[in-house]
Chains A and B, each alone.
Chain A
């Protein structure tokens, strides 16, 4: 690493121009992120496969001859290609350079002339880019010779590529593939990089390459291809891809999120249907295919709506399953199968929900800053997936209106007086009270309705049609409430004026959740406390009730989209044009889906095949909503933040609804007595006791002691759960603390970016004033090496170099910090990992250059015999010190994984800035030197004695060092 960077550094192009060096710093600041510095001229040359290039005859004799140090100059003079096979000494540091030559330096025109430094000899594209970059830089620093800039750009690009390849070689294959994929380059370049890295690898491993390794490689390649083709096939079969594209093209991402959610729920239900059908229903059907229906019950048609009568004797409900153990090829205990299928399904659902929720939170909520609204609207809000002309026009209009509104809002907000605030608060309070009391009222009325129904209903097996139809009353009222009350809630929005649209949506969502929770809670209470003690086969009764709820809810969803959207569209277009075409209300629709899914979860115990109904329902709903959307609705007027809303919906689905359903099912299976006459658990005290019975039976089977031990010591012991809870709490607390610490660190680093930016602009201003004040500078720079400076220039050029070195050191540091910050903020480690060593390297380069400047300046006073031996002695002492320091760098570089080391290296760079400023007076330099010696004593042992001091203190030290440098600079100046 160190020797490598030294090689690059001795290239004279770096020293050609002062401004160029500064510019180099600033441009390579974004080394791995900036799309513009990415363009490496060397890569443009290669075709698909350079080794078999028919035009260029490789001259293999040159293979091992590339000088170790001068590869960069060489690379631009040599135009012959070197085949990979003849690399003589793969262990030496020069081998990678040769490799690059062999693959990248071939000019398509086979140009053998040595004049490759001129851009005219390279391909047209490249020339354009190169000149483009060069022009940019020349605009920034107009006083410099363009040739220098061009060379520097070229060298810089080459070096970047080399660094990148070296980084990639060290990574594992999976990381490498990902890193290459994330490179912001065009495809050819990626391919080139990849081929180089692979060539590197094979040349490394060539000596121990065996038949077995070849075979192994082939097999893995085969497997990978297989995997890719399977994935392609999956993509071909992806459900509703075309429809999704159409919706997003016409209505944008926020409406699309509803359909994505619907599809996700559909997949969920397909999974649960497969599980239940496979493990519960199929065994029963195989053993006993005919349902035992009483002879006087026949199918009448109304059962499809009510789920009663004929259907109640089938495998649809709990009551249709037996408690036997089927003896076929193997024993199949129906009780255990039923219990474990439901339990494992619930656990899997919970895990899937938690994971998707956590991932969504991580992606969408980590660093969300609501303050930057304008910037977001301007630069991030445009939906690239919209392809419909009308939608584009509408969206542009909406954005314009929104911008105007927000501009006027800002003017308005300051005018709010106390009384107005109080009034607004009163409106909020009133509407919240009203909405909550509405929800409570709905719950209460449903409870009384249920009681009324219970008085009417009997436990008879054969209801008349009227009786059967009466059972539809409760589901009808429940669905009606679910349809009408949310409309009232959205009316409230007209009165309360929330300051932001998001708050308004959240208020609406929370009210709707309350409503649905009250309704479901009352129903569950009624089932568990009334139905469970009244009917002989009460589980089937609850199953029927849930079936009715699901079906009627489906009917109301259809009616809702007909009346809600179709009719209001008619009204909006024909009767009352000022009302306008309705918008698709994503929040309300998603809450309806969540409610429907909760019903299915509650019903999974009472009616194992309810997911089948749910699949059908969601499938039809998808097409229904799509048609209704495209015909009746317009895109939402407000551009909300869809990703956050989606996260919230998943969270809501998990927290009150799934957890509620889970606790309901758990309570039923732990506490309530299963019905005596029907179902798999007849005759047991509770559903859970089936496990106890199983354990009891296991005692007779030898070799199953461990299962019993687990049951007795883990499942049944409170101590185990207590310990688990403690451990989970401790872990949670630790993670919470870590996240708090990271938050503080992020704030600190952000503050530093601000500081560094100010420093940078200040220094650049200063530099430019200096440049402008010195008209002779340009010619002087060209003659630098001839040492023909006037003594009158000495002072100014000295300060110039000081500022130069300082700027470089600062910029190098800033780059490092920014990269570090980005890594900590983004959690995308790979690119930053690549760039960190290079940041360190650049800091070192900057420092070395600063030293070179110093040395160069020292030679000037040689013209004055009066500046006598003190100076020479000081210089010698200082050089000694510097060589020591360099040795330390070499030592510290391998430890660069430790951030503290990196910081210390950076701060040493800063100190080199201090050093260079000491030119102005000899005394000062000597003092400096001693100070530096002391410093080094403080710094050098730090990695060994205290391997991990907190990063922030290192940062502070680095900042202090920088401030000191600045003070020195001011003094010197």
Chain B
């Protein structure tokens, strides 16, 4: 733990928080993650371990969050990506960065747009799949209607960001305290 500076430049994150995060990361799989990160070991934790963190356990989007931050898209996180994840979800992260990753999280089929299918999945995750298909359909249509600026019947990142900029709560709700 001594030379955090070799891995994390002091401009990126506070040493205290990194140490805290490393502790959490280590705690997830003590036999896999070394305490010593001097040589930048190559170890990744699978999605199943990470979504069991108490901070993520009950989150309906937990799998999507982890996938959005993993480089291979399958949910395996290295420590660096783990730090990335919590720094984007921290209080200090700028709105634009948060918007980008929120978009990524909601974009289930990774096609760069929030289409109706994505919204339906989101809605089902948010409401325990207890709405009737007609209601789901209606809500998704309304959502697209409200937020779609350029009329292509799906939400691009621009649309999404525009909507976020009108929802000031987003900054405080897209926030996980570690």
Nearest chain B CB to A824 CB, angstrom units: 11
Complex CA distance for A779 and B106, rounded to whole angstroms: 39
For residue B22, CB closer than 8 A to chain A, the reply is: no
Partner of A380, one of B6, B119, B163: B163
B139 and A186 within 8 A (CB): no
A825 and B162 within 8 A (CB): yes
For residue B73, CB closer than 8 A to chain A, the reply is: yes
Measured between beta carbons, the chain A residues less than 8 angstroms from B16 are: 232-233, 235-236
Partner of A369, one of B122, B123, B128, B166: B166
Measured between beta carbons, the chain A residues less than 8 angstroms from B11 are: 177, 180-181, 194, 224
B58 and A388 within 8 A (CB): yes
Partner of B172, one of A231, A253, A754: A253
Complex CA distance for A129 and B126, rounded to whole angstroms: 29
For residue A299, CB closer than 8 A to chain B, the reply is: no
Complex CA distance for A229 and B14, rounded to whole angstroms: 8
Nearest chain A CB to B52 CB, angstrom units: 12
Central interface residue in A34, A129, A391, A641, by most chain B CB within 10 Å: A34
Complex CA distance for A403 and B129, rounded to whole angstroms: 13
Partner of B84, one of A33, A129, A187, A376: A187
Which of A270-278, A455-463, A757-765 participates in binding chain B?
A757-765
For residue A637, CB closer than 8 A to chain B, the reply is: no
For residue A438, CB closer than 8 A to chain B, the reply is: no
A235 and B173 within 8 A (CB): no
Complex CA distance for A204 and B177, rounded to whole angstroms: 42
Complex CA distance for A753 and B57, rounded to whole angstroms: 40
A191 with B168, Cβ < 8 A, contacts A372-B163, A382-B60, A407-B139 known: no
Nearest chain B CB to A221 CB, angstrom units: 8
For residue A404, CB closer than 8 A to chain B, the reply is: yes
B149 and A753 within 8 A (CB): yes
The interface size of chain A toward B, counting residues with CB under 8 Å, comes to: 93
B174 and A373 within 8 A (CB): no
B97 and A182 within 8 A (CB): yes
Partner of B138, one of A47, A387, A391, A407: A407
Measured between beta carbons, the chain B residues less than 8 angstroms from A186 are: 69, 71, 80-81, 84
Complex CA distance for A241 and B164, rounded to whole angstroms: 27
A368 with B158, Cβ < 8 A, contacts A191-B9, A399-B126 known: no
Partner of B73, one of A132, A253, A371, A374: A132
B135 and A384 within 8 A (CB): no
B151 and A828 within 8 A (CB): no
For residue A190, CB closer than 8 A to chain B, the reply is: yes
Chain B: number of interface residues, binned into ranges: 35 or more
A384 and B89 within 8 A (CB): yes
What mask results when residues 385 to 425 of chain A are scored 1 for a CB within 8 Å of chain B, else 0?
Answer: 11111011100110110011001000000000000000000
Complex CA distance for A372 and B143, rounded to whole angstroms: 8
Closest to A124 in B: B72
Nearest chain B CB to A362 CB, angstrom units: 10
Partner of A36, one of B112, B128, B162: B112
Complex CA distance for A57 and B161, rounded to whole angstroms: 46
For residue B110, CB closer than 8 A to chain A, the reply is: yes
Central interface residue in A186, A367, A373, A822, by most chain B CB within 10 Å: A186
For residue A184, CB closer than 8 A to chain B, the reply is: yes
Closest to A221 in B: B10
Complex CA distance for A404 and B127, rounded to whole angstroms: 11
Closest to A750 in B: B149
Measured between beta carbons, the chain A residues less than 8 angstroms from B138 are: 407
Partner of B10, one of A224, A249, A643, A825: A224
Measured between beta carbons, the chain A residues less than 8 angstroms from B139 are: 374, 378, 403, 407
What mask results when residues 35 to 77 of chain B are scored 1 for a CB within 8 Å of chain A, else 0?
Answer: 0000010000000000000110111110000000101110000
Closest to B57 in A: A387
Measured between beta carbons, the chain A residues less than 8 angstroms from B173 are: 253, 380-385
A384 with B175, Cβ < 8 A, contacts A378-B123, A378-B139 known: yes
B166 and A754 within 8 A (CB): no
Measured between beta carbons, the chain A residues less than 8 angstroms from B60 are: 382, 392, 396
Q: Could you show 7 A-B contacts with beta carbons less than 8 Å apart?
A: A33-B96, A48-B6, A253-B175, A375-B142, A375-B147, A376-B167, A378-B123
Known: A379-B147, A644-B168. 15 other contacts (CB 8 A): A132-B73, A182-B96, A186-B84, A187-B81, A232-B14, A244-B177, A253-B173, A372-B146, A382-B61, A399-B127, A403-B131, A403-B135, A753-B149, A754-B149, A761-B152
Which A residues fall within an 8 A CB radius of B? 30, 33-36, 47-48, 124-125, 128-129, 132, 136, 177, 180-184, 186-188, 190-191, 194, 224-225, 228-229, 231-233, 235-236, 241, 244-245, 248-249, 253, 363-369, 371-376, 378-389, 391-393, 396-397, 399-400, 403-404, 407, 641-644, 750, 753-754, 756-758, 760-761, 818, 822, 825-826, 828, 831
Q: What 8 pairs across the A-B complex have the smallest Cβ distances?
A: A757-B150, A232-B16, A364-B168, A375-B147, A400-B127, A187-B80, A643-B168, A380-B167
